[in-house]
Amino acid sequence: MKRYITLLFLTIFTGIVYAQTADDALRYSQQHYTGTARSMAMGGAFGALGGDFSSIGINPAGLGVYQSSEFTFTPTMEMRKSTSGNLDDEKFTFGISNIGYVGTIRPRMKSNGGWQNFNFGIGYNRLNNFRKSSLSKVDNSPSSMLDIFKANADGFSKNQLKAKYPTVEYLAYETYLLNPSDDDPTIYELPIPPTERLNQRKSIEEKGHMSEFNIAFGANYAHKFYIGASLGIQNISYKSTARFTESSFSNSDFNNYYLEEYVKTSGIGANFKIGMIYKPNQNIRLGASLHTPTFFSMEDEFQNEIASHFKTAIDGHSNYKAESLLSTYEYNYRTPMKATLSGAVVLAKKMIISVDYEFVDYSNAKFKDNDYPDEFTTTNDIIKSSYESVGNLRAGLEYRVSSALSLRGGFANFGNPYKASSIDESYNIYSTGFGIRQGNFFFDAAYSYSDRDESYLYYDADFGNGNTITSDLVKLEDKNHQMRLTFGFKF
């Protein structure tokens, strides 16, 4: 598979404005509603079950299933290991994946055929953890990022370069990676010969998370029909520091350089969810829910730095460093709408089998700048042409060994969002766990594992007329281990 992304997440620079990419749209659209340990152990398949705070994020009708008030608290531990060739890096994370409160109100007078209870819930579920470190390399590369610097810079004077490309090419000029020729100062020369081959390295340090605060309402009619609605307030906190290095192993005066790109993204958005659950009998439960897009107000903070190193002095020095201004950019982002169909079977009050099928069209994600309506036209066109609708499957099993102990297992498949047949970024999550009930207290534990393969390019630029500059393909394996513990009280 081949993933056409540019160097270290940054694609297009116009002045000092940082442009979002289709990869960013996918990052914030792929979400996992597995806040509690019970939900995680069962693959997140709670759209037809309810009675768990994580289910509010999938189908708010699950709130109507509660028969008593409840408080849950879920700490989590995660270990991610990224491997590329013989390079690997690990990152451990500790955090909170769920805090929730559900209150139950029962009518003073009710019958078996009427409204049984009205419930409300408020709380927090973690959707994504962005914390990750990765290392990769390409040895003896026939192409160079410097070739892209030159292709972009040719035809511009120093002052024009500073105005048009202040965040990369002008920094390369300031660090003697782009040198104006003696015959024409708008044509640039590189510090390496055309036949030079370079060793390339890239490190990426990512931090942050994506969370949702829910305010929900649910109702139970005759213990057969449940309805619910929720307002979700989502929060994005993402930070990336990525460094791309090219170094020479020849006898030329050039030694190495690095381009470091820092970006910090924060956003807050809102969505609305509605859902229903129907029990035709005591053994079968059917559910359906609809999620509106989440409308985000976003802000990016970004800065680039280039440093170069030479074996012999240039203008009295052999080391140079230049950095761009620390800049900010505000814009809007809209995730795709989601729909979920769910089914569950309860066998002799001993076993539960549950399945959710979620439909989402990633091509409907969209960036927008209210002040400059055409700013994201190219990026949104890439999103539409690159992504497609997929079905995400979640399945779970619970077996009640006794009134106090339950065993669980789960599976989730997230479909490939890319249209191109040469790209396959689908992946599976496997999970297991157990639960203990003792009076009004319950304790759940869960473990999940996923293994994702990615292939991408450090850079890929097409300047027309057959002038294409592309790096070698880099392969990355990302293994994710998670452990969650839920402590809960019913009252």
| Residues β-bridged to residue 258 | 245, 307
| All domains of the chain in start order, with CATH | 7-144+192-490 (2.40.160.60)
Share of the chain above pLDDT 70, in %: 96
Number of Cβ within a 10 Å radius of residue 56 = 32
Please write the tens of the pLDDT for every residue from 59-76: 999 999 999 999 999 999
How far is 458 from 468, CA to CA, in rounded Å? Answer: 14
Is the pLDDT reported for residue 251 higher than 80?
no
- Listed residue (64, 68, 73) closest to 36, CA to CA: 73
Q: In the structure encoding, which two tokens stand for residue 173, read together? A: 């000029």
pLDDT of residue 193: 86
Share of the chain above pLDDT 90, in %: 71
Is the pLDDT reported for residue 3 higher than 60?
no
Number of Cβ within a 10 Å radius of residue 199 = 15
pLDDT of residue 149: 94
Mean pLDDT of 167-196: 92
Parallel/antiparallel/unpaired status of strands 473-490 and 405-414:
unpaired
Is the pLDDT reported for residue 18 higher than 70?
no
Q: In the structure encoding, which two tokens stand for residue 186, read together? A: 């708008």
Q: Is 418 left (phi over 0), alpha (psi -120 to 50) or beta?
A: beta
Q: Give the list of residues 6+ apart from residue 160 with CB closer than 8 angstroms, or none.
A: none
Is the pLDDT reported for residue 16 higher than 50?
no
pLDDT of residue 15: 32
Three-class SS string for the chain?
CCCCCCHHHCCCEECCEECCCHHHHHHHHCCCCCCCHHHHHCCCCCCCCCCCCCHHHHCHHHHHHCCCCEEEEEEEEEEEEEEECCEEEEEEEEEEEEEEEEEEECCCCCCCCCEEEEEEEEEEEEEEECCEEEEEEEEEECCCHHHHHHHHHCCCCHHHHHHHCCCCHHHHHHCCCCEECCCCCCCEECCCCCCCCEEEEEEEEEEEEEEEEEEEEEEEECCCEEEEEEEEEEEEEEEEEEEEEEEECCCCCEEEEEEEEEEEEEEEEEEEEEEEEECCCCCEEEEEEEECCCEEEEEEEEEEEEEEEEEEEECCEEEEEEECCCEEEEEEEECCCEEEEEEEEEECCCEEEEEEEEEEEHHHCEEECCCCCCCCHHHHHHHHHHECEEEEEEEEEEEECCCCEEEEEEEEEECCCECCCCCCCCEEEEEEEEEEEECCEEEEEEEEEEEEEEEEECCEEECCCCCEEECCEEEEEEEEEEEEEEEEEEC
Mean pLDDT of 94-118: 87
How far is 245 from 261, CA to CA, in rounded Å? Answer: 12
